[in-house]
Structure 1
Amino acid sequence: MLRQVFKKIYRLRRFFFRAIVLNQARECGRGLKVNSWSWVSKETKLADNVNFNGMSIRGSGSVVIGSNFHSGKDCLIISDIHNYEGTEIPYDSGLIKKNVVIEDNVWVGDRVIVLGGVTISEGAIVQAGSVVTKDVPKCAIVGGHPAQVFKFRDIERYERLKDEGRFH
């Protein structure tokens, strides 16, 4: 009985979290799953089968997330920066937009930070705790602060699984 109550509460929470993201995002494809508190900016575009487990997308720049994206817990994407070369110090009231693109089939681990102006290419994996400050190549596995490539996925296997439509 208690297990059934917890399942219902969990489903209700997921419904609530999903509704928040759907209300905020500029565009959203099919199959959105939001398992934990998440917040997206009004400049966010989500493709199909996006899975958030605790995502915060902040800033005025565009954020485009491709299909079959999975995030870990407590992730952050920042799509603008303060204007530190303006008329005041340490920065003025202006913001500089820095767009973010995350292509299809990307997996981002827990507590990853993605800074503006970055593209994370198709099939990439970002290790938990990383800070992505520059573009990530296709099928790269990156980690660290700043995130650096330390390995690549088996691209033949990746392409075969993709062709077979085997998406989680």
Structure 2
Amino acid sequence: MSIGNDCRISGKTTFSGRTDSTNPTLTIGDNVDIGWQTTIAVGDKIIIGNNVRIASQGFLCGYPGHPIDPHLRAQGLADLPQQIGSIILEDDVWVCTRVTIIGNVTIGSGSIIATGSMVTKSFPPNTLIAGNPAKAIKKLTYHPSSTHSEDTS
């Protein structure tokens, strides 16, 4: 696990790594917020880019913990290698409250994932993502601003 500079990780956050993986790796960039009651379950690797925000109760699920086959589950066997996957959140991604992201997913830079979404596939940069299963809602366009005004009233 490596954590960049100026990161904030709220209480009751859970980190786990799949025990049957060779070297589960979690890389967290700079200026990252990870909200309360978030679970990060590393299968192979999870990469969280710079300036990423993960709101409370997020679930990054790189491995399910159990096989799909009920007979194998009943035997107490671990998940199968084909069920394991990496998760990559590129720079400037915002993951809203109660979002689940499963393995083999990359979220492009500048994207926003709406509250309660279940992400099962990858999305390009600057995409508003929502739903269960999650879909691209629209392309996001940002207008750079040199100032951020505060409400003075």
TM-score, length basis structure 1: 0.71
Query: Which amino acid in the other structure matches residue 90 of structure 2?
Result: E
- Residue number among 15, 23, 26 corresponding to 1:40 in the alignment: 15
Question: Which runs of 5 or more residues in structure 2 are unaligned?
Answer: 18-24, 149-153
Aligned position for 1:147 = 134
Aligned position for 1:102 = 89
Q: CA deviation at 1:66?
A: 0.2
| Mapping of residues 29-108 of structure 1, within 5 Å | 29-42=4-17, 43-54=25-36, 55-81=38-64, 82-84=66-68, 88=72, 93-95=77-79, 96=81, 97-108=84-95
Q: Assess, with a 3 A threshold, how the Cα gap between structure 1 residues 35 and 83 changes in structure 2: closer, same or farther.
A: closer
Aligned position for 2:108 = 121
- Of Structure 1 and Structure 2, the greater strand share is in 2
The residue matched to 2:116 in structure 1 has which SS? coil
Q: Is the Cα contact below 8 Å between 2:67 and 2:73 reproduced in 1?
A: no
Post-superposition Cα deviations, 1:39-66, rounded to whole Å, max 9, x if no partner, equal 2235211010110112211243211100
Aligned length: 135
Q: Is the Cα contact below 8 Å between 1:65 and 1:103 reproduced in 2?
A: yes
Query: Which amino acid in the other structure matches residue 93 of structure 1?
Result: L
Query: Which amino acid in the other structure matches residue 6 of structure 2?
Result: G
Q: Assess, with a 3 A threshold, how the Cα gap between structure 1 residues 91 and 154 changes in structure 2: closer, same or farther.
A: farther
TM-score, length basis structure 2: 0.77
The residue matched to 1:148 in structure 2 has which SS? strand
Q: Identity of paired residues, percent?
A: 24
Q: Assess, with a 3 A threshold, how the Cα gap between structure 1 residues 90 and 150 changes in structure 2: closer, same or farther.
A: farther
